[in-house]
Amino acid sequence: MMEKELEIQHRDPTLYNEDLAPIKHRDRNWGWFEIFNVWSNDIQSLFGYTLAASLFISYGLNGWAVMAAIILAGFVVMWLVNLTGKPSVKYGVPFPVMIRSSMGVRGANFPAMLRAIIGIFWYGVQTYFASTAVALLITALIGDPGGSWLGMSAVGWVSFVIVWIFQMALFWQGIDRIKHFLNWAGPMVYVVMVALMIIVWFQAGSDLLPAVSTIFSGSSEYEGSALTAFLAITGTMIAYFAAVVINFGDFTRFVKSEKQMKLGNLLGLPLNVAFFSFIALIITAGTLALFGETLTNPSDIIERVDSLPLTIIAAITFFAATVGINLVANFIPPAYDLANLFPGKISFRIGGLITAVVAFFVGALWVSVISQIGIAGFVNALGAIVAPFYGIIVVDYYLVKRQHLNIQDMFSADPDGAYHYVKGWNKRAIGAFALAALFSISSVWVPALEALGGYAWLIGAALGGLFYFLLMKGHRQPVAMQS
């Protein structure tokens, strides 16, 4: 794509600002290492580890089978993000602009706002999880004075506020500073996780390996077959990545080439997940051999190991990893999505400020209210809501528009524009979303469809694409003047 094609000639102020505009190829400085660290930090965050570890003990499967299911999810997610990442590598625009092609220049605000709500929710939750690492560090150094409010101690509240302020300060310095922070945090967490695994392995001794193969079998109340458990674990892990899968273009717009993106996804997803799952499996089994109970929060494990140097290093690195992915996966997307709502009034920074303020209350209520519903249930339900948009985006770009978009018309309110449809809304796309979302959400919330819960995201995505393709078959497509 030529540089001149990235210049927007007619900028409608209700659709355009500098943060939403295409990034020129010469200004892109992300390679495979940056994409790898997006996934490294996502997987290695405290919340990600807790979810992965909990899957080892929730379905009554052999530990190796659980690890295999998680790795399979890594391959599936890699394939999915390669599809959604490619158009933003080509055109340099974020998710809320890219989806204007299918939803309409005004209708794009609908999926963008749903994605923003989900991002803000996760941002609040991850802020709390990052604060547990800071609380661990403070407690190790000065102790805990006691007392609690809304499920958090005084140290917990201080830590939560510290993390919230730190993230805002980092975000305010721009995307390049976030990138450097992420590139440092990802490798450092691996060093600490490997060290923790070696310590647990050494302390557990000969009791560890038998625990790996037997300790997770028959230890849960899950009543389904081994196959359904395996597929449910895979589906749950896919749903964990769901929000990033849909708006992956928010990150790939910074990448220099599609080849760099694909290499980063390969190293960062299936290979990264395989190694991390092995570490999580060994540590989770080791906690039962050592302490008589399975511990799924790394902070709890480090506290039991009782090594002050390890506690300090681990607390800092887990804090860094969780903050890193929180900024990239849960902060940047809502900032773009809110900016897309009123481009003339809300900049990327103002969108980020709104995100942070709302997320503060989400994180503050995580322990006392939100977490009581269950982690896996939240992952599946939230993933199901936005899942149809994945199918709509992919089918629209690859099958309906055949990988040719008019970047000028994405920022135009002209009624004759390629993506104006009816008053800026593509009613066919809204209909496809509604039909697909009804089924995917029901598979999570309706007891009779509970067995499909783990597959809700994939079902919703597939149906969204199918319904969109069928509804758009009779719609005359405008000829794209740019590719």
C-alpha dist (Å) from residue 184 to 33, 190, 410: 11, 11, 36
Assigned domain for 117 exists? yes
Residue 89 has pLDDT above 70, yes or no: yes
Neighbours of 123 (CB within 10 A): 27
Q: What is the pLDDT of residue 4?
A: 44
What secondary structure letter does DSSP report for 328?
A: I
Assigned domain for 394 exists? no
Assigned domain for 424 exists? no
Tell me the average pLDDT across 64-72: 86
Q: Which residue has the higher pLDDT, 383 or 153?
A: 153
Note the residue count of the chain: 483
Number of domains making up the chain: 1
- For residue 113, give every residue at least 6 positions away whose Cβ sits within 8 Å of its Cβ, in sequence order, or none: 337, 341
Assigned domain for 478 exists? no
Assigned domain for 152 exists? yes
Q: 130 near 46, Cβ under 8 Å?
A: yes
Q: What is the pLDDT of residue 74?
A: 93
Q: What is the pLDDT of residue 153?
A: 87
Domain interval for residue 197: 3-388
* Range in 26-30, 369-373, 426-430 with the lowest mean pLDDT: 369-373
SS3 content of the chain, % helix, strand, coil (to 5): 75, 0, 25
Q: What is the DSSP string of 50-108?
A: HHHHHHHHHS---HHHHHHHHHHHHHHHHHHHHHHHHHHHHH---HHHHTHHHH-TTTT
The rounded distance, in Å, linking the Cα atoms of 77 and 270 is: 8
Q: What is the pLDDT of residue 76?
A: 94
Assigned domain for 473 exists? no
Tell me the CATH number at 119: 1.10.4160.10
Assigned domain for 122 exists? yes
The listed range with the strongest mean pLDDT (80-84, 438-442, 448-452) is: 80-84
SS3 194: helix
pLDDT tens string 3-53 = 444 567 667 888 998 889 999 988 999 999 999 988 887 887 767 777 877
Assigned domain for 71 exists? yes
Residue 242 has pLDDT above 80, yes or no: no
This prediction's pTM: 0.85
Convert 305-343 to b/e letters by CB count within 10 Å (16 or more is b).
beeeebbebbbbbbbbbbbbbbbbbbbbbbbbbbbbbeb
Model confidence band, residue 213 (pLDDT cutoffs 50, 70, 90) = low
Convert 408-427 to b/e letters by CB count within 10 Å (16 or more is b).
bbbbbbeeebbbbbeebbbe
C-alpha dist (Å) from residue 266 to 33, 40, 101, 273, 324: 11, 12, 28, 10, 20
Q: 483 near 404, Cβ under 8 Å?
A: yes
The listed range with the strongest mean pLDDT (200-214, 305-319, 347-361) is: 347-361
The rounded distance, in Å, linking the Cα atoms of 13 and 393 is: 25
* Range in 15-19, 50-54, 82-86, 116-120 with the lowest mean pLDDT: 50-54
Q: What is the pLDDT of residue 307?
A: 75
